[in-house]
Amino acid sequence: MIATFPFVHIGERVRDYRRMRRLTLRQLGAAAGVSASFLSQLENGRTDASVGTLRRLATALGVAVADLIETGAPAAHRVLRRADRPEAGLGLGARKFMLTRPPLRHLEVYSAEFEPGGSTGEDAYTHGDAQELVLVLRGSARVQIGGEEHHLEEGDSVEYSTSVPHRLVNPGPGPAEVLWIISPPTPDAVPDPLPAPGSDVRETSARRS
């Protein structure tokens, strides 16, 4: 027997997160491997979801299964102490911390600490097609965006589209700390070749569904 979950509440949560992500029924269905008609029935409380389906929906929505099951509205104010920041993977000589906790709504924010020479990785990367801003909190950073290169000092910032290959390096003799702000939240990063600074680059869409 396949385990299922009460569908009225879960359907409402799925609908709320889908609208928050600005996804159509067809788009979410394609990402989760279910039909748009099934999603419509689930959201309207006319069918239930198996454990496997629920996991695929949660993954497609960028939330945990618990976010779809738990009752009650999410807390309006979610305090995150510095010592409790979840650490995410990054590149060499660098540590990255999540400041916005799942479920991500309209904003995705990270802080990162770089040792001298540390970087986001050897290769540039893309992730979705959102607006991203990087702000240097301490030290300096060299940010490569497409065929351009920008040197930023403490307090400087630069913004760009996440669909353009980009990479960050700490060129200074001391540690550096930066803040990334992304809106709306994007899928996982995808490595992408980075052209040499000054080369003629045509921006191509790197949106992943």
Q: Per-residue pLDDT for 4 more than 70?
A: no
Q: What gap in Å lies between CA 165 and CA 178, rounded to an integer?
A: 18
Cβ neighbors of 71 (< 8 A, separation 6 or more) are 9
pLDDT, mean over the chain:
81
- Tens digits of per-residue pLDDT, 173-209? 999 999 999 988 876 544 444 344 344 333 323 333 2
Q: Could you tell me the fold of the domain covering 82-192?
A: Jelly Rolls (2.60.120)
For the cut 80, the answer to whether the pLDDT of residue 77 exceeds it is no
**Which residue carries 């290169």 as its tokens?**
149
In single-letter form, the type of residue at position 156 comes to: D
Report the percent of the chain where pLDDT is more than 90. 44
Burial class (CB in 10 A: 0-12, 13-18, 19+), 20: middle
* Average pLDDT score over residue span 114-122: 94
pLDDT band (50, 70, 90) for residue 75:
low
pTM check: above 0.75: no
**% of the chain beyond a pLDDT of 70:** 79
In DSSP notation, 36-94 reads HHHHHHHHTTSS-EEHHHHHHHHHHHTS-HHHHH--SPPPS-----GGGPPEE--STTE
Q: Assess whether pLDDT exceeds 90 at residue 134.
A: yes
Where do the CATH 2.60.120.10 domains begin and end in the chain? 82-192
The structure tokens listed for 139 are 């030290």
**What pLDDT, on the 0 to 100 scale, is given for residue 76?**
63
Where, residue-wise, is CATH 1.10.260.40 in the chain? 4-69
Mean pLDDT of 67-80: 68
Q: Which fold has domain 4-69?
A: 434 Repressor (Amino-terminal Domain) (1.10.260)
Q: CA-CA distance, 94 to 121, in Å (whole number)?
A: 9
Say what the pLDDT of residue 49 is. 81
Lowest mean pLDDT among 2-11, 25-34, 141-150: 2-11
